[in-house]
A and B are shown apart, each in its own frame.
Chain A
């Protein structure tokens, strides 16, 4: 039997502590905003701004703690995203479990989609509802997203729908394109690189490469819809063409960014 080295044990404990802290942070934010939920004299827009700020700060602190403990490394090159006019859709590839944490850490006010289970939960539900997020199990998903984009919010979506599989082939579903075409919203592409691969679908949370995986977030130029596709076509065609365009965009991007062999 192979014994774990001291550094591996240290890393394991750090990872456990991090997951514990994340849970604790989420719970305390949950309880605080659960209590705030029925308070009548604070407008829902104010609550939304507060809560998104809390989530942003929480995620930012969390990745800094993880970096301090040597669990991850990261670098951001996202100026184009921070400066982009509001009302855009942020899309990103989805290599790891913590992609959304990194994206929330660099975006102060960003709208996300959440799972039905999170939406319906007593504590997390209060947070995500007041944060003005969108549940993914509603039929009103597209109208809700459209209204938010038109009101100038930025919405994050992972067009792959789930984490990238181990073969690293990027395959997009049409949801992001449906949304973009519905409101003619510009798209902000973000590339997430994680080397060496970790926290993929099916990976164990404690299976971390030595020194921690290095994350790199890069944002591209804001893509207007008519730069990507012919917007005079019938909508079903636009959905499909845009999905193909974006998929190709990412495949090319990944190829350019990959280290040369």
Chain B
């Protein structure tokens, strides 16, 4: 995992601990949002809003729907921010 992805993971971990009262050690790449972390579709919207504040990318809820694990979240954000940087 490169540095950028590490940063995104750290950001996600901070948000999840703060917003969803989860334990930091639970938030590993292979953790599944719904089954392991008890994050439902309503939560996902709030998570998205919060992550967009700290990681400046345009992401729609439908793009976020495919996401199953923490790794998927990292991937989506890494890809989008790579695209955003390529444009800039």
Interchain nearest-CB distance for B5 vs A (Å): 24
Whether A235 lies near B20 (C-beta < 8 A) is no
C-alpha gap A235/B20 in the complex (Å):
9
Nearest-neighbor residue (CB-CB) of A233 within chain B = B19
Interchain nearest-CB distance for B11 vs A (Å): 16
Residues of A near B42 (CB, < 8 A) are 142, 174, 178, 239
C-alpha gap A236/B19 in the complex (Å):
6
Range class of the A interface residue count:
10 to 19
Whether A237 lies near B21 (C-beta < 8 A) is yes
At the interface, is chain A mostly helix, strand, loop or mixed? Answer: helix
Nearest-neighbor residue (CB-CB) of B19 within chain A = A236
Residues of B near A234 (CB, < 8 A) are 19, 46, 50
Residues of A near B19 (CB, < 8 A) are 234, 236-237
B3 contacts the other chain (CB 8 A): no
Nearest-neighbor residue (CB-CB) of B41 within chain A = A139
Interchain nearest-CB distance for B24 vs A (Å): 16
Residues of A near B20 (CB, < 8 A) are 236-237, 240
Taking A178-B42, A237-B19 as given, write out 19 further A-B residue pairs in contact, using a Cβ cutoff of 8 Å, ordered by the A residue number: A139-B41, A142-B42, A174-B40, A174-B42, A234-B19, A234-B46, A234-B50, A235-B46, A236-B19, A236-B20, A236-B43, A236-B46, A236-B47, A237-B20, A237-B21, A239-B42, A239-B43, A240-B20, A240-B21
B contact set with A: CB distance below 8 Å: 19-21, 40-43, 46-47, 50
A contact set with B: CB distance below 8 Å: 139, 142, 174, 178, 234-237, 239-240
